[in-house]
Amino acid sequence: MTSFKGLVIVFGLLLNQNSLAFTQDVIRLTNGEWPPYTSENLKDFGIFSHIVTEVFALEKINVEYGFYPWKRAYEYAKSGSWEGSVCWYWSEERSKDVYFSDPVMNGDEMFFYLKDHPFEWKTIEDLKGKQIGAVIGYFAGEEFQKAEQSGLITVERIATDVQNFKKLLSGRLDIMVMNLYVGYDLIRKHFSPQEAEKVTHHPQAINTGALHLILSKQNLKNSARVVAFNRGLAKLKTSGKIDHYLQDVIKGGYDK
């Protein structure tokens, strides 16, 4: 005859097994300030963070973010004191220390211009004679850099993109180059709706680079986690949700 005490022990073991079955993994990722991609002050911590959170959720993994200066954010991920970080461009040097996910989204460098001053371009030669604005130290791709260094194009470099937008609106620039989503984020935050309405961008990128989740090679779980993330990312892309988020971010959908 089975004792009451034995039944309690068996029941307790079953409960424990069931609770473990429903326990989700938790991954800790460093993050930083690059609105609207990532920010502690944005809804869902920005579009990139939002996508990463949803992708991991599809694989039953919860995400915790810690916000740090970018250099420290990378070092924490590299060392394994945090499991990984968002969001990073691939480099051969980094790939020695971290796993790179499949591309999550692109960081496109685009030309902004005024709607009442139509602008078209296909090759770098089409930029000759244009007054082009860019921020000091800003890299817009090898082709753009070589054209600037050779004198083929004229680039006026100043301290901030906000200053460049002011020059564009006043007619002192023909075009300016910067990241697509960051550009529209600055326009919304620093200019009136009437001024923002005057600005648009050319659909052809001057430079593009894929942005990735990175996971530390110091953590034994991460080789499996990056496989799970890539699987969940494919699911989310197929659902069409990412396209919706990309449309939403230009309209300020991540502003609090």
Structure-token pair, residue 99: 């796993």
Amino acid at 27: I
Contact 160, 135 (CB under 8 A): yes
Q: How far apart are CA 4 and CA 7, in angstroms?
A: 5
pLDDT at residue 18, as a whole number: 45
* Helix, strand, coil share of the chain (percent; to 5): 45, 25, 30
Specify the pTM: 0.84
Omega before residue 36 within 30° of 0, cis: yes
Provide block-wise average pLDDT over 10 residues at a time, the chain (256 residues): 44 45 78 96 97 97 97 97 96 96 96 96 96 94 95 96 97 97 95 96 96 97 97 97 92 91
Helices (H), strands (E): how many in the chain? Answer: 10, 10
pLDDT at residue 7, as a whole number: 43
pLDDT one-digit tens code per residue, 62-74: 999 999 999 999 9
Domains, the chain, in order of start with CATH, read 24-106+209-250 (3.40.190.10), 108-208 (3.40.190.10)
pLDDT at residue 23, as a whole number: 56
Half-sphere exposure of 26 (CA within 13 A, CB side): 5
